Amino acid sequence: MRIIPAIDIIEGKCVRLSKGDYNTKIIYNENPLEVAKEFEAHGIEYLHLVDLDGAKSSKIVNYKILEQIASQTKLKIDFGGGLKADSDLKIAFESGANQITGGSIAVKNRAVFEKWIAEYGSDKIILGADANNEKVAVSGWLEDSNEDLVPFIQDYQTKGIQYVICTDIAKDGMLQGPSFDLYAKILKQAEGLKLIASGGISTFDELPKLAEIGCEGTIIGKAIYEGRISLKQLENYIIG
């Protein structure tokens, strides 16, 4: 299972939120590049980079930070937040993203998102399926859609989607453990899916359990920044 640390960006700084609430912002580092380099130094190969300013303003904002990290590390970056138009996608890939994650756009403008899958290929486009009570949430989680989570994912599988990042919003940033049951349910019903678990990871022991369920990757944020999971532990897991 791939280990994918998260860097969330607000005003160029590395932050974390709880349950996607911007009022709960904690700044962990003024320099995201420094954080990324530290991940790389511990054998980590992947990075989940989220432009929270972009998510709020509906267009890519912090692409310079993406460019910095991509040009000064070898991390394979998936980038999300505010990708709404073809021009946003172009900027993200030109700035060094390996993959992009589309969340709100996949609900609100399916035609555009399906075009991206067809144009860039399913290895480049990740579906961000964030859930609140098994309903898909959009707009930086500020609103719920009427889309049921599993059918939503299954429908996009028919359009070629392979990778899905699923965050249970109730768990995100709470350090109370991930939604094992939800992930098991998704993987049972959406065969062949490369599911990336996100939200609530709080201890190292949860990682083997997610791998056992069949998750292809897991995104870890606050647990690293709060020292609940050390980079050394992750390094040993990756080597092991």
Dump pLDDT digits (tens) for 216-240. 999 999 999 999 999 999 999 999 8
Q: pTM, whole model, 2 decimals?
A: 0.94
Report the candidate in 88, 102, 19, 10 with the shortest Cα–Cα distance to residue 56: 10
Task: Tell me the pLDDT band of 146, cut-offs 50, 70 and 90.
Answer: confident
Residue 8 known to be catalytic: yes
Q: 181-204 pLDDT, tens per residue?
A: 999 999 999 999 999 999 999 999
Q: Are strands 135-138 and 131-132 parallel, antiparallel or unpaired?
A: antiparallel
**Whether 51 is catalytic:** no
Sign for the CA dihedral angle at 175, 180, 185, 188 comes to positive
State the average pLDDT over residues 1-30.
Answer: 94
Catalytic residue selected from 53, 130, 168, 172: 130
pLDDT confidence of 137, banded at 50, 70, 90? confident
Kindly report the CA angle at 143 between 6 and 158, in degrees rounded to 5?
Answer: 70
Averaged pLDDT for residues 160-164? 98
pLDDT of residue 217: 98
Q: What is the mean pLDDT of residues 11-39?
A: 94
Average pLDDT, integer, range 200-213: 96
- Which two three-digit tokens encode residue 82? 């505010």
How high is the pLDDT of residue 140? 52
Superfamily of domain 2-239: Aldolase class I (3.20.20.70)
Q: Of 99, 132, 106, 105, whose CA–CA distance to 21 is shortest?
A: 132
What integer pLDDT is reported at residue 28 of this predicted model? Answer: 95
pLDDT band at residue 143 under the 50/70/90 scheme? low
Q: Can you tell me the distance from the alpha carbon of 216 to that of 171, in angstroms, rounded to the nearest whole number?
A: 19
pLDDT at 141 over 80: no
Band the pLDDT of 93: cuts 50, 70, 90: very high
- For the chain, which residues make up each domain, given as ranges? 2-239
DSSP structure string for 137-186? EETTTTEEEEEEHHHHHHHHHHTT--EEEEEBTTTTTS-S---HHHHHHH
- Of 8, 51, 78, 88, the active-site residue reads 8
